[in-house]
Structure 1
Amino acid sequence: MIRESRYFLFGDRKSTDMGIENVNTEGGLVEETFLATSSINETSIKGNDTPFYEGKKRDPKQFNLNFYIVDYWNDKRLADIKRWLDVDTYQPLSFSENLDIVYYAMPVDTNDLVHNASKEGYVRLTMRCDSPYAYSRSITTPLYDASKEDITIEINNKGECTIVPSFKIQKVGKGDVQIENLSYFSSPSKFVDLEDGEIITVTGEKEIVESSKYGDERYDNFNEEYLRFGYGMNRIRVTGRCKILFNYRFKYR
């Protein structure tokens, strides 16, 4: 939890190295953002009191970050803190209570320096994330060997949401490769007519497919079904001679 944390990491720096610590400024119980805000997309039609549901829109997470500037400050210290926090791109943000959960955020909107006119006080920021989710650190599996027979791999999704992993296939001999999640209802990912030694890299979240021999011209050999890992244990069946590894991040609401 954010409010329980003593310090945080933003970008490549630790807050305590900057002489600041995470603080709670409210008395009594503290408040945390539980879920990102969301809204319903729907269309109303004349003569029908029930609107047609068209999906749900989740907004990027946004939360307050308050930190105390330890000891007295001067203009140089404040300038260093501003340079650190005033970024133009989303930066990784994690908190000491669980450094393995990462937000990608930057300061927006309200930002105040609250002090006693004697160079002591704290800063109030509003942090906006790039998505409605937080993530784990990137996880890469070992290289699994299906060069002699089909294999089944177990991967445990310990997050809170379904994720779309990336994976890399190294083809052994010419032919097809199919990757199917036996624990999740979806069509398998299938590549046909791959060449011996060809390496296929699939970036799942961005739906990018690249070949070591043909660049981005392998979409005609792919059925455009991207693999998904549901919450919990996933049994992944790899059919076709190859070696394969997976890369993914858990996702948290």
Structure 2
Amino acid sequence: MIKESLYFIYNGRKSSDFGVVNVSMQTPLTEHLIADRKIYEMYAAGKDKPYFSHVRKEPLMFDIFLYFEHGFGNDKYSNNLLEEIEEWLDVDEYKILAFESNLDVIYYAMPYEEVTLFHDGLGQGYLQVPMKCNSPYKYSHVIKTPFYNTTSKNEFEIMNKGRNISPTIEIKKIGDGDLKIYNKRNYTNPVIIKNLKDSDTCRITKNYFHIDNFDYYKNDYSDYFNYRRIEFAYGNNEIVIEGSCYISFTYQFEYT
């Protein structure tokens, strides 16, 4: 939870480095459990009931209130404190944000409107920092498995603690031949890679497939790859690899 955490890490720095604590300006404390969404519907002439089209989930947005524990502009926290905080928060891309109540859950966030200082003119006050995330979701840190040798074992269990996700897969082929990769929980979408040579390396992500040292002028990826993706469902997933290779999976849990 955001509001129950006094301290947090953002942009590689701890809030305690700047002598600020995360406080709430509301009683009771309120938290957004699910991101805002827009429902799109269409109306037909003469019909009072709309036709549902789709839902668009909005990125997470929330305010952080930073109270200066020791004030700003005194001997311990120098007159440069506000400038240091400006440099800390003034980013041009989404940075990792994690709160002390659960440092294993991260947001990709950045300030998206004016950061406002409220003070009494005597060096006491707080900052209001409006944050916007890059998606409607929270994440785990990146998880990368070791490279498994499928000649000795070709079934692996991977636990997913969040929403359905597609991992990045890295492969180094052992011997010439084909590979088939599937999840026993979702066998309808096996990944098939054909015509690989010994020591060929390839990479499959949610958006693309790549073979190192591939001759694009003489070959077409469609002769090698069926453009399917492995998906990890919530809970335990049993991944099977038919064919010999070294294989590694990289992924992040994705939470609502």
Counterpart residue type for residue 241 of structure 1 = S
What SS does the aligned partner of 2:155 have? strand
Counterpart residue type for residue 21 of structure 2 = E
Which string of whole-angstrom CA distances, capped at 9 and with x for unpartnered residues, describes residues 35-74 of structure 1? 1001122333324444333321101000111111121313
Q: Does 1:245 align with 2:244?
A: no
Query: What residue in structure 1 maps to residue 192 of structure 2?
Result: 190
Counterpart residue type for residue 43 of structure 2 = S
Which string of whole-angstrom CA distances, capped at 9 and with x for unpartnered residues, describes residues 109-145 of structure 1? 3532122221101111110000000110000112211
Query: What residue in structure 2 maps to residue 179 of structure 1?
Result: 181
Query: What residue in structure 2 maps to residue 212 of structure 1?
Result: 212
Contact 1:2 1:32 in 2 (8 A): yes
Q: CA deviation at 1:174?
A: 1.4
Q: 1:229 to 1:21 in 2, by over 3 A?
A: same
Q: 1:66 to 1:105 in 2, by over 3 A?
A: same
Match of 1:85 among 60, 65, 89: 89
Tell me, in whole angstroms, the C-alpha distance in 2 between the residues paired with 1:215 and 1:106. 41
Tell me, in whole angstroms, the C-alpha distance in 1 between the residues paired with 2:194 and 2:40. 39
Tell me, in whole angstroms, the C-alpha distance in 1 between the residues paired with 2:102 and 2:232. 23
What SS does the aligned partner of 1:99 have? coil
Counterpart residue type for residue 20 of structure 2 = I
TM-score normalised by length of structure 1: 0.92
Tell me, in whole angstroms, the C-alpha distance in 2 between the residues paired with 1:25 and 1:41. 34
Q: 1:218 to 1:100 in 2, by over 3 A?
A: farther
Query: What residue in structure 1 maps to residue 24 of structure 2?
Result: 24
What SS does the aligned partner of 1:79 have? helix
Tell me, in whole angstroms, the C-alpha distance in 2 between the residues paired with 1:140 and 1:95. 23
Counterpart residue type for residue 195 of structure 1 = K
Summarize the alignment of residues 160-179 of structure 1 with structure 2, pairs less than 5 Å apart. Answer: 161-179=163-181
Tell me, in whole angstroms, the C-alpha distance in 1 between the residues paired with 2:220 and 2:199. 15
Counterpart residue type for residue 129 of structure 2 = L
Tell me, in whole angstroms, the C-alpha distance in 2 between the residues paired with 1:218 and 1:63. 46
Q: 1:86 to 1:115 in 2, by over 3 A?
A: same
Query: What residue in structure 1 maps to residue 202 of structure 2?
Result: 200
Q: CA deviation at 1:25?
A: 2.1
Q: CA deviation at 1:93?
A: 0.5
Contact 1:10 1:93 in 2 (8 A): yes
Query: What residue in structure 2 maps to residue 38 of structure 1?
Result: 37
| 5+ residue gaps, structure 2 | 74-78
Tell me, in whole angstroms, the C-alpha distance in 1 between the residues paired with 2:192 and 2:141. 28
Identity, in percent, stands at 36
Higher strand share: 1
Query: What residue in structure 1 maps to residue 143 of structure 2?
Result: 139
Query: What residue in structure 2 maps to residue 130 of structure 1?
Result: 134
Q: 1:190 to 1:42 in 2, by over 3 A?
A: farther
